[in-house]
Amino acid sequence: MNKALLVVDVQKAFYNEKWGDRNNHDAEEKMATLIDHWRKKGLEVIYIQHQSNDPESVFYTKQEGVEIKESVKPIGEEQIFTKTVNSGFIGTNLESYLREREINEVVIVGLTTPHCVSTTARMSGNLGFHTYVVSDATAAYGIYDQDGNYVEPEKVHTVSLATIHEEFALVMTTDQLIKKLAL
């Protein structure tokens, strides 16, 4: 089985103070560990990059925020899919790219757990890919609900993972994944 590592939205824009508190500050280190394993095995590392045409957005294409963070950035011919919504599968050729390469295992890491990671994982699972989400290689910021109540980062993260586990994806830690996929 061919395995792809999807690195979702790990971009400088997410280190802007506007996002407030987040959990899992070691997530990028875990992502880098997985990227390293992937490259050593000659497996496919795929980047998903969020872009906006709105000059007000921190993801606006013509400024630094849109760039992928140095510590996890692509090298050589690694594929980058740019998107303008949360799902890596909407408005991109990601699905056909995976199918053409007979990739049927998709491992997802990146930012943020409740939005782009969760949505990409949900679609990946529903499209029939064996999907994994790496709990310590993803992270969440605090968010406000429709009544203005603050939900703290760790709660957003853990409940987001619980809602996808065994329904769309298997959720596990970096160490568990390395063992599970014999990387």
Residue 66: closest CA among 47, 89, 91: 47
Minimum distance, C-beta of residue 118 to a second copy, in the bound complex (Å) = 7
Candidates 45, 49, 107, 114: give the one binding a second copy (CB under 8 A).
Answer: 114
User: Are the C-beta atoms of 121 and 86 separated by less than 8 Å?
Assistant: no
Q: Kindly state whether residue 167 participates in binding a second copy, applying the rule CB under 8 A.
A: yes
How many whole angstroms separate alpha carbon 88 and alpha carbon 86?
Answer: 6
The b/e string for 37-54 (b: 16+ C-beta within 10 A; e otherwise) is bbeeeebbbbbbbbbeee
Q: Kindly state whether residue 156 participates in binding a second copy, applying the rule CB under 8 A.
A: yes
Site string for a second copy, 72-91 (x = CB under 8 A): -------------xxx--x-
What is the DSSP code (8-state) at residue 89? T
Task: Determine the interface stretch with a second copy among 9-17, 31-39, 41-49, 160-168 (rule: CB under 8 A).
Answer: 160-168
Q: Kindly state whether residue 24 participates in binding a second copy, applying the rule CB under 8 A.
A: no
User: Are the C-beta atoms of 141 and 114 separated by less than 8 Å?
Assistant: no
Minimum distance, C-beta of residue 166 to a second copy, in the bound complex (Å) = 8
Candidates 144, 175, 179, 180: give the one binding a second copy (CB under 8 A).
Answer: 144
35-54 positions binding a second copy, by CB under 8 A? none
Consecutive H or E run containing 40:
helix 27-40
How many whole angstroms separate alpha carbon 118 and alpha carbon 124?
Answer: 10
Q: Kindly state whether residue 124 participates in binding a second copy, applying the rule CB under 8 A.
A: no
Contacts to a second copy by CB under 8 A: 85-87, 90, 114-115, 118-119, 122-123, 125-127, 135, 143-146, 149, 151, 155-156, 158-163, 165-168, 170-172
